[in-house]
Amino acid sequence: MTAGITDTKQCKKNVDTMVCLMSRDILPVLPNRIREMVTELPGDILDQVEEIRLRQGKPLLVGLNDRDVIVTPLGQMTTVPEFGYTVTDKDLMRALQLISSSSVYAFEEEIRNGFITVRGGHRVGISGKVIVDKGRVRTFKYITGLNIRVAREITGVADRVVSYLLNAETGDVYHTLIISPPRCGKTTLLRDIIRQLSCGIPKLGFGGCTVGVVDERSEIAGCYYGVPQKDVGIRTDVLDGCPKAEGMMMLIRSMGPALIAADEIGKPEDATAVEEALNAGIKLLTTAHGKDREEIAQRPVLKYIIEQGIFERLIILGRSRGVGTVEDIIDCKNSGSLIYNNRTGRAVTDRENINE
Amino acid sequence: MVLKLIGACMTLGACGSMGLVWAGVHEKRPRQLTALEGALQLLETEITYGATPLPEAMEQVAGRCDPQAAGLFMMTAREFAKMGGVTAAEAWERALGRFFPATALDETDLNILIRFGASLGISDRQDQAKHLKLAMNQLKAAAGRAEAEARKNSNIFKYLGFLGGMLLVLILY
């Protein structure tokens, strides 16, 4: 499942945690019938499950790393849609109730955003007929599609990167921007950097710092009832589901972070919050969608922030050696010189390959 | 003669207390309905203001509401805790199945509660509030009717008990 894992012992460990992950987090939110079918799947398939898709009137699909399989009512795999188990509206209704512990009303805001986070930090995407009120999504009238996405946590992906983010002389963290196309392991890398900086890195003599995370889309910490389900370190405070700009201000005011981390900045109000954080002497760790520096510079807000010369380090992710390859790390303060380059010589180990 | 007198007193006492018990049952129903209505009021607060998830909300309500209604909410919370993939409606219905026989409620009351349970937890706050309001109004109306009935009937049952006892005594004497 992980491109870079060669050690069989580590594989074994991953498989074990995967099975326990399925039975602890995923199976309880499936309606009984579907739960039985999924349990019947062969073990090696279960280990690869990335998503389970329920679409009304369509066959039950289980998404694996690189393909998906149709599941029959007896829990066998097939490629013929007609043989698959047809998901009914009742299944969807039950699944939704199990996902929300029968309290759909408690997840209004989440449903409005199109997904609910369940125990373990797994996200369930929702589709169907939307009701709009004053130009804003109010709720779903009919929910006809659910996508249960199995979230796996990979620690250690930032091992090679963190040393570039620490100022050896002062022991400070650099202002860092991670640039990456979608699905290249941006959030996974961000999370692991947060974890390491928060816990401290004895190897580098870094004692750990207070980290404030504004987790607008509940992707970084995967909170369930406000408690982070992913390991984000011992000195980390998380504002779950909070708008970035507002959340950054809240953290500055009260939580005294040394570093603020947020996913995907880019809204106009984010720039103000970023400046506020800088004035308070707080370091910044954030991400942006994009292929490279040039592409990022075309987005007005990011362009402004980059022109201000705020970021000291840019990490550029890509897929040249599998998902999550660290392509470049750029030192912006030093006339934008490359301090790490994947293509030219610097050794790349498996650690740079982040799981999909 | 003395034996007969004692017998007559005992018959009268037994019939009279039977009448009182019957009357008591009729008086219990409106009180239980009001208790349930009050409990739903608490549940409404939990849902609309606190957006508390149901399993927790049920426990909260059970702890704070009238003891006559607490059992239902406690049992529902317990059904949830079993977590065999039950929905709110199923948990509620199972709890009702055990709660109902021990109460003075009748079939129409049971139907109000079952119908309310079917909508429990499946929609957003506004909609939940509507269903709660509807159930509360129905329970209130039922309680009103039960009250009037009880006032009328409890007296009848009380008299009926005593008079019946007296009749029996006269016949047997």
**How would you label B103-142 residue by residue, b for 16+ Cβ within 10 Å and e otherwise?**
bbbeeebeebbeebbebbbbbbbeebeebbeebbebbeeb
Rounded to 10 deg, the angle between the B88-99 and B107-118 helix axes is: 160
Cβ pair B87:A94 closer than 8 A: yes
**Would you say residue A13 has pLDDT above 60?**
no
Tokens of A74: 């007896």
For A133, list phi and psi in degrees, rounded to 5: -130, 120
Q: What pLDDT score was predicted for residue A18?
A: 63
Cβ pair B122:A31 closer than 8 A: no
- Is B52 part of the contact surface with chain A (CB cutoff 8 Å)? yes
In what helix (H) or strand (E) does residue A40 lie, and over which residues does it extend? Answer: helix A32-40
- Is B130 part of the contact surface with chain A (CB cutoff 8 Å)? no
| Span A143-150, average pLDDT | 91
The beta-carbon neighbor of A106 closest among B53, B80, B127 is: B53
Residue with tokens 């326990």: A20
Q: What pLDDT score was predicted for residue B24?
A: 80
Cβ pair A35:B124 closer than 8 A: no
| Neighbouring C-beta atoms of residue B157, cutoff 10 Å | 22
- Is B55 part of the contact surface with chain A (CB cutoff 8 Å)? yes
Q: What pLDDT score was predicted for residue A335?
A: 60
Chain A interface, Cβ < 8 Å to B: 28, 30-32, 35, 93-94, 96-98, 100-106, 108, 111, 138-139
Supply the range of the domain harboring residue B21.
Answer: 2-172
- Strand-pair partners of A104: none
Q: What pLDDT score was predicted for residue A170?
A: 82
| Span A168-189, average pLDDT | 85
Average pLDDT, chain B: 87
CA dihedral B61, B67, B73, B79 (to 10 degrees): 130
ipTM, two decimals, is: 0.72
Q: What pLDDT score was predicted for residue A11?
A: 37
Q: What pLDDT score was predicted for residue A17?
A: 60
**Would you say residue A6 has pLDDT above 50?**
no
Cα of B121 to nearest chain A Cα, Å: 4
pLDDT tens digits, B123-146: 888 889 999 999 999 999 999 998
For B38, list phi and psi in degrees, rounded to 5: -60, -40
**Would you say residue A8 has pLDDT above 50?**
no
CA dihedral B50, B56, B58, B64 (to 10 degrees): -70
Q: What pLDDT score was predicted for residue B83?
A: 60
Number of domains in chain B: 1
| Span B22-50, average pLDDT | 87
**Would you say residue A324 has pLDDT above 80?**
no
What's the burial of A234, exposed, middle or buried (CB within 10 Å: 0-12/13-18/19+)?
Answer: exposed
**Would you say residue A168 has pLDDT above 70?**
yes
| Span A21-26, average pLDDT | 78
| Neighbouring C-beta atoms of residue A136, cutoff 10 Å | 7
- B-chain residues near A226 (CB < 8 A): none
**Would you say residue A171 has pLDDT above 90?**
no
B69 closest CA partner among B112, B118, B105:
B105
Average pLDDT, chain A: 82
- Strand-pair partners of A318: A325
- Alpha-carbon distance of A193 to B65, in angstroms, equals 49
- Is B119 part of the contact surface with chain A (CB cutoff 8 Å)? no
- Alpha-carbon distance of A239 to A213, in angstroms, equals 6
**Would you say residue A290 has pLDDT above 80?**
yes
- Alpha-carbon distance of A305 to A311, in angstroms, equals 8
Q: Is A250 helix (H, G, I), strand (E, B) or coil?
A: helix
First to last CA, chain B: 10
> In chain B, whose CA is at the least distance from the CA of A111?
B124
| Span A260-275, average pLDDT | 86
The beta-carbon neighbor of B53 closest among A31, A103, A111 is: A103
The beta-carbon neighbor of B125 closest among A100, A101, A108 is: A108
Q: What pLDDT score was predicted for residue A353?
A: 40
Cβ pair B52:A97 closer than 8 A: no
Confidence of residue A260 (pLDDT cuts 50, 70, 90): very high
- Is B116 part of the contact surface with chain A (CB cutoff 8 Å)? no
- Alpha-carbon distance of A135 to A142, in angstroms, equals 19
**Would you say residue B65 has pLDDT above 80?**
yes
B157 closest CA partner among B45, B41, B18, B52:
B18
Cβ pair B122:A104 closer than 8 A: yes
- Alpha-carbon distance of B108 to A285, in angstroms, equals 62
The beta-carbon neighbor of A32 closest among B85, B88, B121 is: B85
| Span A21-45, average pLDDT | 85
Percent helix, strand, coil in chain A, to 5, is 35, 30, 40
| Span B72-88, average pLDDT | 82
**Would you say residue A1 has pLDDT above 50?**
no
pLDDT tens digits, A218-243: 888 988 888 898 889 999 999 988 88
Q: What pLDDT score was predicted for residue A197?
A: 93
Answer whether A238's CB lies under 8 Å from A193's CB.
Answer: no
**Would you say residue A38 has pLDDT above 60?**
yes
- Is B124 part of the contact surface with chain A (CB cutoff 8 Å)? yes
For B121, list phi and psi in degrees, rounded to 5: 75, 5
Q: What pLDDT score was predicted for residue A15?
A: 47
Q: Return the number of CB contacts < 8 Å for A and B.
A: 63
What would the CATH number be for the domain defined by A159-352? 3.40.50.300
The beta-carbon neighbor of A105 closest among B55, B87, B123 is: B123
The beta-carbon neighbor of B121 closest among A31, A104, A108 is: A104
- Alpha-carbon distance of B154 to B20, in angstroms, equals 8
**Would you say residue A26 has pLDDT above 80?**
yes
Q: What pLDDT score was predicted for residue A285?
A: 93
Residue A297's Cβ-side half-sphere holds a number of Cα atoms within 13 Å equal to 9
Cβ pair A101:B91 closer than 8 A: no
Amino acid letter, residue A154 = I
- B-chain residues near A105 (CB < 8 A): 47, 51, 121, 123-125, 127-128
CATH 3.40.50.300 maps onto chain A at 159-352
In what helix (H) or strand (E) does residue A123 lie, and over which residues does it extend? Answer: strand A122-133
| Neighbouring C-beta atoms of residue A8, cutoff 10 Å | 8
Cα of B89 to nearest chain A Cα, Å: 9
| Span A89-116, average pLDDT | 87
Q: What pLDDT score was predicted for residue A299?
A: 83
- B-chain residues near A224 (CB < 8 A): none
In what helix (H) or strand (E) does residue A27 lie, and over which residues does it extend? Answer: none
- B-chain residues near A38 (CB < 8 A): none
- Alpha-carbon distance of B101 to B73, in angstroms, equals 15
CA-CA distances (angstroms) from residue B143 to A68, A197, B59, B118, B153? 57, 63, 24, 22, 15
Q: What pLDDT score was predicted for residue A194?
A: 94
The beta-carbon neighbor of B51 closest among A28, A106, A111 is: A106
Query: What sign does the dihedral A301-A303-A304-A308 (CA atoms) show?
Result: positive
| Span A61-86, average pLDDT | 89
Cβ pair A101:B128 closer than 8 A: no
Confidence of residue A336 (pLDDT cuts 50, 70, 90): low
- Is B87 part of the contact surface with chain A (CB cutoff 8 Å)? yes
| Span A101-130, average pLDDT | 87
Strands in A259-262's sheet, in edge-to-edge order, are: A236-240, A211-215, A259-262, A283-289, A176-180, A313-318, A325-331, A337-341
Interface mutation target, options A27, A94, A104, chain B, most CBs of B under 10 Å = A104
CA A147 and chain centroid, separation: 16
Do you know the residue count of chain B? 173
- Is B123 part of the contact surface with chain A (CB cutoff 8 Å)? yes
Tokens of A19: 């099975």
Interface mutation target, options B44, B122, B125, B130, chain A, most CBs of A under 10 Å = B122
For A323, list phi and psi in degrees, rounded to 5: -55, 135
